[in-house]
Amino acid sequence: MTETLLITVSARPETSSEFWLHLLLFGLGIIIVLLTSVMLFIWLERRLIGRFQLRPGPNRAGPFGLLQPLADVIKVLTKEDIIPNRADKIIFWVAPVVSLAPVILILAVVPIADSVLLADLNIGVLYVIAISSIVSLGVFMAGWASYNKYSMISAMRSVAQLVSYEMPLILSMAGVVILAGSLSLNDIVKAQSIPFIILQPAGFFVFFIASLAEINRTPFDLLEAESELVAGYNIEYSGMKFATFYLAEYCEAVVFSALAATLFFGGWQGPWLPPIIWLLLKTVLVFSFIVWIRATLPRLRIDQVMNFAWKFLLPLAILNLLITGLSVSLWPEAPLWITGIASLVLLVVYVLFWSKFFKPGGKTVAV
């Protein structure tokens, strides 16, 4: 029923009123579905991490602990809302919203079935890049306005890290755009008769690592590095404002998983099951992989993170773009698998070469 409703709403709007109805219903739908599904994803992450750590994970509230996120929400809502005395009050208030809103906005261009999306922008990928950059602004505002040294360091790190990783992220998406011949995410999905992860392994590799950095996940979770900065930029936040940050963080993880599924795993495409289920399955798959990494790896240091972005990811992304571009422009009638193999060879050779000649270790600074 939901599906028919969605398709009705998303049918090409003829009149102005239909257009507004479409925007309203679909927009509300996205917000409600995302914010509730995030609770499920939080539950999934906690259960998975529990299993990785040889323990059951939350299993008391509700069946399989499914109500645990709900209990957390109730807890966090009843907390006292504290604003530090010397904080910059307005920015302090605005920051959580600034970091949550763009994350939700990204979903506007992610198709959940053929042509079923809030807005089929013909510049979809560009829109995603532009909107996702705003998140770092929210983080910086929070860190700056809190008037706290830890959050200040975190804010500085966020700017350095998020801006650096935007470059490889954009370049890795460009490979997909070249193959699909369109910036619209709907067209990109439709172009994936073979999922782009097979044609663009190097591109996916760069995209995945860069998006880990974008969503502040291990091993790039320097912004909220627990062992050094206690909680990072949201150290002074409590109550609903903290919950908003928490929500933003998980929404971002879910949204980037959905993006990875859309760009590289064929989005809603798949046999037998309805398209939205396929998208959800692929999103859960990518998200679980992120959780796996979080449960496994230690954290990098800030200089290593920057080195990694500029000396490893960026050249790889550029080379991948070069190979893709050349194969498409010089030999357009070539079978697609040649691009895939070229990209895979590039990835393997590059990683081997880099790990042999470059170590991300650091040196001490003379004081």
Query: Binding residue for other proteins (CB under 8 A) from 53, 86, 285, 353?
Result: 53
By CB under 8 A, the residues from 151 to 190 that bind other proteins are 153
Element (H, E) at 185: helix 185-191
Which among 9-17, 36-44, 260-268, 291-299 is the span making contact with other proteins, rule CB under 8 A?
291-299
Query: Considering CB under 8 A, how many residues would be counted as binding other proteins?
Result: 39
Smallest distance, other proteins to C-beta of residue 310, A? 16
Return the range that interacts with other proteins (CB under 8 A); candidates 101-109, 134-142, 299-307, 334-342.
299-307
DSSP at 123:
T
Contacting other proteins (CB under 8 A), which of 54, 78, 80, 356?
A: 54
CA atoms within 13 A on the CB side of 28: 7
Tell me the per-residue interface mask from 21 to 50 with other proteins, x by CB under 8 A, - otherwise.
Answer: ----------------------------x-
| Residue among 110 and 153 whose Cβ is closer to other proteins | 153
- Cβ 367 to other proteins shortest distance, Å: 5
* Cα distances (Å, whole numbers) of residue 20 to 9, 14, 24: 10, 11, 6
Residue with tokens 């990494």: 293
Asked if residues 320 and 200 have their Cβ atoms less than 8 Å apart, the reply is: yes
Amino acid (1-letter code) at residue 287:
F
Closest-CA residue to 310 (of 144, 118, 125, 160):
160
Classify 135 as helix, strand or coil: helix
Can you tell me which residue has the tokens 């081997």? 352
Characterize 252-290 residue by residue with b for buried, 16 or more Cβ atoms within 10 angstroms of its Cβ, and e for exposed: bbbbbbbbbbbbbbbbbbbeeeebbebbbebbbebbeeb
Q: Are 199 and 340 in contact (CB under 8 A)?
A: yes
One residue of 141, 188, 263, 300 binding other proteins per CB under 8 A: 300
- Cα gap 286→296, rounded to integer Å: 16
In the bound complex, what is the minimum distance in angstroms from residue 32's beta carbon to other proteins? 30
225 contacts other proteins (rule: CB under 8 A): yes
Q: Report the residue number, 230 or 352, with the smaller CB distance to other proteins.
A: 230
Q: Which of 31, 40, 296, 352 binds other proteins (CB under 8 A)?
A: 296
Name the minimum Å distance from CB 359 to other proteins. 7
Is-contact 179 196, C-beta < 8 A? Answer: yes
User: With contact defined as beta carbons under 8 Å apart, do 187 and 274 qualify?
Assistant: no
- Provide the minimum distance between the beta carbon of 40 and other proteins in the complex, in angstroms, as a whole number: 20
Q: CA 30 to CA 274: how far, in whole Å?
A: 18
The residue range among 12-20, 52-60, 100-108, 336-344 that interacts with other proteins, by the rule CB under 8 A, is: 52-60
Helical spans, DSSP H, in 220-335: 226-229, 239-264, 275-296, 302-307, 314-330
Distance (Å, rounded) from C-alpha 181 to C-alpha 188? 8
Work out how close the CB of 343 gets to other proteins at its nearest, in angstroms, rounded to a whole number. 23
Among 1, 335, 356, 366, binds other proteins (CB under 8 A): 366
Question: Does residue 213 bind other proteins (CB under 8 A)?
Answer: no
Q: How far is the CB of 308 from other proteins (least distance, A)?
A: 9
* Residue closer to other proteins, measured from CB, 1 or 365: 365
Shortest gap between Cβ of 164 and other proteins (angstroms)?
15
Specify whether the CB–CB gap between 321 and 171 falls below 8 A. Answer: yes
Per CB under 8 A, the list member of 240, 297, 336, 341 interacting with other proteins is 297
Phi, psi (rounded to 5 degrees) for 113? -160, 180
Question: Does residue number 362 form part of the binding site for other proteins (CB under 8 A)?
Answer: yes
Minimum distance, C-beta of residue 355 to other proteins, in the bound complex (Å): 7
Nearer of residues 18 and 228 to other proteins, judged by Cβ:
228
Output 25 or 160, the one with its CB closest to other proteins. Answer: 160
Residues 6+ away with beta carbon under 8 Å from 338: 327, 331
Contacts with other proteins, residue ranges (CB under 8 A): 49, 52-55, 149-150, 153, 218-219, 221-222, 225-230, 294-304, 355, 359-367
